[in-house]
Amino acid sequence: MRSILRGLVGLTAVFNILLGIAFLIDPAQMGLAFFLTSFGTQGLATMRADFTAFFLTGGIFALVAAWRAWRSPLLVPLCLLSIAITGRAISLFADGAPAKAFPPMVIEAVMIAIVAIGWRNFDREGGR
């Protein structure tokens, strides 16, 4: 079970790392996939910086957690994803609920569940 959980957390990590790299390489195309458009070079720079930072940070911390089976690094992606899904939920109430709003929320909810289960089952660093 623990190996499966490490694998699931690791897959979540790789998924987020790949998204971060994709935003770094081609923010305009990735923005379209996320229903965003940039406003000139500064818009591209913002998408390249902020989305890359979000996904790489969460992914790297999840990867460290999966590699070592340590729980505390999972607090980073858990916080990032929880804030993201909260923002989406607020947007549903504030802006309406189109059908396209739900698939990203499902993906985030699944990742939150995987990371939370990992946090509950992984060890503290150094066996503490």
The structural domain count of the chain equals: 1
Residue 44 scores a pLDDT above 60: yes
Handedness of CA 55, 60, 61, 66 (dihedral sign): positive
CB of 27 closer than 8 Å to CB of 48: yes
pLDDT tens track for 48-73: 999 999 999 999 999 999 999 999 99
Angle formed by the axes of helices 2-25 and 75-95, nearest 10°: 60
Per the structure, the complete domain to which residue 103 belongs is given by: 2-127
CB of 36 closer than 8 Å to CB of 50: no
pTM (predicted TM-score): 0.91
DSSP conformational letter for 64: H
Res. 107 pLDDT band, cuts 50 70 90: very high
Give percent of the chain with pLDDT exceeding 70.
97
